[in-house]
Amino acid sequence: MSFLQINNVWKSYGQAQILERLNLSIDQGEFISMVGASGCGKSTLLKMILGSEVATKGEISLEGKPLVAEPDAERGIVFQKYSVFPHMTVLQNVMVADEFTKSFLLGRCFGSARKQVKQKAESFIDAVGLTPAINKYPHQLSGGMQQRLAIAQALMKAPKILLLDEPFGALDPGIRADMHVLIRDIWKKNNLTIFMVTHDIKEGFELGSRVWVFDKVRHDPQAPMAYGAQVTYDLKLDTDKTPDIAALTQKIAVN
Amino acid sequence: MKRLMNIEPSRFWRTFLTIVPFIVIIALYWSASDARLAENPNDKLLPSFTQISSAIDRMAFTENKRTGEYLFWQDSAASLYRILLGITISAAIGLIIGLINGLLPGVRAGLSPLVTIASLVPPMAILPILFITFGLDELAKVMLIIIGTAPVIIRDMQSQVMQIPKEQLIKAQTLGASTWLVTIRVVLPQIMPKLLAAVRLSLGAAWLFLIAAEAIAAQEGLGYRIFLVRRYMAMDVILPYVAWITVLAFAMDFSLKKMSQVCFPWYHHQEASK
C-alpha cells in the first residue's frame, strides 16, 4: 500500500474542467516537483492534498484512509506569501504552532509548558537560520527570511506531508539558491514527503526526487475548457546524480 | 526651483502654518465683533471675548443659585457618560458581530444582509420610536448612539476580517488551530487596530446623534444647554460650549490614536513601511 494514493481524481469549476483522470501513487519520503504552464491545475492538486479544495470526482487517501476534507496538522503548508502572522514576532510565530494544540481555550502556554514550547521553537528557528531575528516582526524581515519562518512554523507540527506552493517564486536568485540548500537538508533529515508547485522547471528538477509535468492531453479548439490537464510526464530522478536538465527540459518542450 | 508638489516645509514652517489659520480666524472674529458692538453695544450675535469669558465664569465656576451645582461641569459629565457608554457598547457589538460575520460563512449568510439593511435605516427617523419604547431618560439617548454607529462598525469589521489573507487562516489550521483559536489568536489581534480606527471615524456621528437626542428631550447635557440658551440668543454661552465639544471630540480621537500606537506597534510600523 502506498503512502498517498490519488484514485481517478477529477476537478472542475462550473463548466471549466481543470484536472482529469489523475491516478498516482506516492511513497513516503518522495520529493515531488509539480511543473506546468500557469492555470494547468498543479496548484489545484496541491490544494486538494492540503484539504482546502475538494475533488469533484475520485478520492485521495493517505495511508489507506481518505484525506480529511479540511486543512489539519498532518499536512504543513508554505505559500508564496502571507503564510506568517504579521502581529507576532518570529519566536511567537513559531511558538504558536504548538500553543494551538496544547491550550485549547487560550492558545497560550504558561510556566514550564511555555518554557518547553519555547525551547522547541528556538531549535527550529535555529535550524532555518533565523536566530538573529528571533524578536523581529515579519514586516522587518526580507522575503527569504519570511519563507524560512513559514518553514519553521510548519516543521513544528512534524507533518506527514509538507506542501510548498511556489515557495521561492518571489525571491532573488541568490536567496533562492540558499533556500534550495535549506529545503533539501530539511527533507533529508526529517524523511518528509514534500510536494512543491513551481513554475521554474530547473528548480523542479534540482530539488525533486520525482517530477510531474501537467498538461492537457485532449484539446477541443471550440471549447478550450472542456478537457482538463493530466500528468503527462512522471519522471523519477536519481537524486544522487545531477540530471541532464537541458535534455529533459527540451524533451518536455517538444511535446 | 523645485516643483510645487516636491516642496516639503521644514519643522518650523509646518508648526507656523498649523497655527496661522487659527490666529486668522480669531483675529477676524475679534474685528467683526468689535465693529458690531461699536455700532450696537447690546448686539448678541458676536459677543466680545470679555462677554464670553464672563459667561464661562458664570456657567463653569459659579454655583447655580437654585440648585447649588456647576451647570457646565454637570452638562459635560452627562454628555460624556452618554457618548462613552454608547460608543463603547457600539464598539463591542461591532467587534463581536463583525468578527463572527467575517469569519463564519454560515452566520454571514444569515446576518450580513440584515446588517446592511439596518445600517441604511436613518437613525434620526426612528428617534421617536426610541423615545416611545425606552422613555425620555438616558436609555433612549444611548440607544440612538448605538443604533447610529454600530451597524457601520459591524460592516467595517466584517470587511476587515474578510480581507485577512486566506493563506493565514489555512496556515493556522495546518498548525492545528480550532475555529476558536483562529479567532482569538489570529483574527482578533489583527482587527483590534482596525476597530480603534473605525471607532475614531464614527465619533463624529456619535456626537451628532447625542446632541440631536439631547436637543429634543433632556434635563442636562451639552447639546441640551446649547438648544436651551438659543431661546435667549445667548451666543456668549453657545460659542464656548461648541468649542468645548470640539475639544472633547479631539481629545477622544487623539487618545484612541495613541492607544492604538501603544497597544499595536507592529501594525503602525507595518503601515508606515508600506
Q: Is residue B60 part of a domain?
A: no
Clarify whether residues A172 and A112 are in a common domain.
no
Chain A residues with CB under 8 Å of B175 CB are 73, 96-97, 100-101, 153-154, 156-157
Q: Is residue A42 part of a domain?
A: yes
pLDDT of residue A246: 65
pLDDT digits (tens, 9 = 90+) for B213-240: 999 888 899 999 999 999 988 999 999 9
Q: Residue B100 belongs to a domain with what CATH number?
A: 1.10.3720.10
pLDDT of residue B263: 93
CB pair distance less than 8 Å for B174 and A157: yes
Q: Is residue B158 part of a domain?
A: yes
Clarify whether residues A171 and A240 are in a common domain.
yes
Percentage of chain B beyond pLDDT 90 is 76
C-alpha cell recorded at residue B196: 480603534
Clarify whether residues A166 and A70 are in a common domain.
yes
A250 pLDDT band (50/70/90 cuts)?
low
Task: Please state, in angstroms and rounded to a whole number, the distance separating the CA atoms of residues B159 and B93.
Answer: 15
Q: How far is CA A32 from CA A174, A218, B121, in A?
A: 23, 24, 56
Q: Which domain holds residue A139?
A: 87-157
CB pair distance less than 8 Å for B174 and A154: yes
Would you give per-residue pLDDT tens digits along chain B (274 residues)? Answer: 889 999 999 999 999 999 999 999 999 999 999 999 999 988 888 999 999 999 998 888 888 777 778 889 999 999 999 999 999 999 999 999 999 999 999 999 999 999 999 999 998 898 889 889 988 888 889 999 999 999 999 999 999 999 999 999 999 999 999 999 999 999 999 999 999 999 999 999 999 999 999 998 888 999 999 999 999 889 999 999 999 999 999 999 999 999 999 999 999 998 887 7
C-alpha cell recorded at residue B154: 459591524
Other C-beta atoms within 10 Å of B91: how many?
21
pLDDT digits (tens, 9 = 90+) for A75-118: 999 998 888 999 999 999 999 999 998 888 888 888 888 999 99
Clarify whether residues A164 and A150 are in a common domain.
no
Once rounded to an integer, what is the mean pLDDT over residues A30-36? 90
A239 pLDDT band (50/70/90 cuts)?
low
SS3 B64: coil
Q: Is residue A189 part of a domain?
A: yes
Nearest by CB: B175 against A73, A79, A82: A73
Which one of A4-18, A23-37, A86-100, A235-249 scores highest in mean pLDDT? A86-100
Task: Please state, in angstroms and rounded to a whole number, the distance separating the CA atoms of residues B214 and B224.
Answer: 5
Q: Is residue B76 part of a domain?
A: yes
Clarify whether residues A23 and A140 are in a common domain.
no
End-of-domain residue from the set A123, A157, A191: A157
Q: Is residue A135 part of a domain?
A: yes
Once rounded to an integer, what is the mean pLDDT over residues A33-57? 88
Clarify whether residues A164 and A51 are in a common domain.
yes
Q: How far is CA B47 from CA B29, B50, B262, in A?
A: 10, 8, 42
Chain B residues with CB under 8 Å of A156 CB are 175
Q: Is residue B144 part of a domain?
A: yes
ipTM given for this complex: 0.88
Number of CB pairs, chain A paired with chain B, less than 8 A apart? 84
The structural domain count of chain A equals: 2
Clarify whether residues A129 and A30 are in a common domain.
no
Q: Is the pLDDT of residue A241 over 60?
A: no
DSSP-derived secondary structure letter, B2: -
Q: Which domain holds residue B235?
A: 71-265
pLDDT of residue B101: 94
CA angle (A192 as vertex; A186, A198 as ends), nearest 5: 80
